[in-house]
Amino acid sequence: MSNKVTDLATGVEGLFIKNTRFNTTCISCNFYLPLKKETAAEYALLPFILTSCGSRYPDFSRLNFELERLYGASLNASAEKYGDYQLLKMSVTVINDRFTLDGEALIKQAADLICGLIFEPKVQDGAFYESDLAREKRKAIEHIKGEYSEKRIYAKNRLIEEMYKGEPYGVAKCGKVEDVEKITGKSLYDAWNRMLETAFIRVNVVGAEVPAGLFEDLTERFARVSRHDITNCKSSAPTKPSAAPRTVTETTAVNQGKLVMGFSSDLYGNDANTLPLLVMCDIFGGGPYSRLFTNVREKMSLCYYCSASSLRQKGLLTVESGVETDNAEKALTEILNQLEIIKKGEFSDFEYDSSLKSLADTFNAYNDSQDSIESWYALKVNNDEIYSPEEIAERIKKVAREDVINAAKGVKLHTVYKLLPENKKDEGKEG
pLDDT tens track for 147-185:
988 999 999 999 999 999 999 999 999 999 999 999 999
pLDDT at residue number 273:
87
Residue of 140 and 101 predicted with greater confidence: 140
pLDDT tier for residue 103 given thresholds of 50, 70 and 90: confident
State how far the Cα of 185 lies from the Cα of 267, in Å rounded to an integer: 43
| 187-203 confidence digits (pLDDT tens) | 999 999 999 999 999 99
The answer to whether the CB of 405 falls within 8 A of the CB of 345 is yes
User: Would you tell me the crossing angle of helices 130-149 and 40-50 to the nearest 10 degrees?
Assistant: 120
Cα–Cα distance between 277 and 265 in angstroms, integer?
8
Domains 3-223 and 246-426 in one fold: yes
* Mean per-residue pLDDT over the chain, rounded: 94
Q: Return the pLDDT at 427.
A: 45
pLDDT, average across residues 40-63: 97
Q: Which amino acid is at 345?
A: G
Is the per-residue pLDDT at 233 higher than 90? yes
Could you tell me what percent of the chain has a pLDDT over 90?
Answer: 89
> Residues 191, 44: contact at Cβ < 8 Å?
no
pLDDT digits (tens, 9 = 90+) for 362-380: 999 999 999 999 999 999 9
| Beta bridge mates, 79 | 88
What are the residue boundaries of the structural domains of the chain, listed by start?
A: 3-223, 246-426
Residue 424 has a pLDDT of 54
pLDDT, position 425:
44
- Tell me what pLDDT residue 101 has: 86
Report the distance separating Cα 368 and Cα 359, nearest Å.
15
Q: What is the pLDDT of residue 382?
A: 87
Q: What is the mean pLDDT of the segment spanning 50-74?
A: 96
Predicted pLDDT of residue 430 = 43
Whether residue 130 contacts residue 185, with contact meaning beta carbons closer than 8 Å, is answered with yes
Q: What is the pLDDT of residue 378?
A: 96
- 141 close to 244: Cβ distance less than 8 angstroms: no
Percent of the chain with pLDDT over 70: 97
CA distance 6 to 215: 8
- What mean pLDDT comes out for the span 345-352? 97
| pLDDT at site 255 | 85
Would you tell me how many other CB atoms lie within 10 Å of the CB of residue 194?
A: 16
Binned at pLDDT 50, 70 and 90, residue 429 comes out as very low
In the chain, DSSP finds a helix count (H) and a strand count (E) of 15, 11
What pLDDT is recorded for position 46? 98
412-421 vs 316-323, strand pairing mode = unpaired
pLDDT the model gives residue 352: 98
Angle between helices 349-364 and 389-396 (to 10 degrees): 170
Residues 117-150: tens digit of each pLDDT: 999 999 999 999 999 999 999 999 999 999 988 9
User: Would you tell me how many other CB atoms lie within 10 Å of the CB of residue 55?
Assistant: 13
CATH number of 246-426: 3.30.830.10
Q: What does the pLDDT read at residue 3? A: 66
User: What pTM did the predictor assign?
Assistant: 0.94
- The pLDDT of residue 257 is above 60: yes
Work out the angle between the directed axes of helices 271-285 and 328-343 (0-180°, nearest 10): 130
Which CATH superfamily hosts domain 3-223? Metalloenzyme, LuxS/M16 peptidase-like (3.30.830.10)
pLDDT band at 212 (very low <50, low <70, confident <90, very high): confident
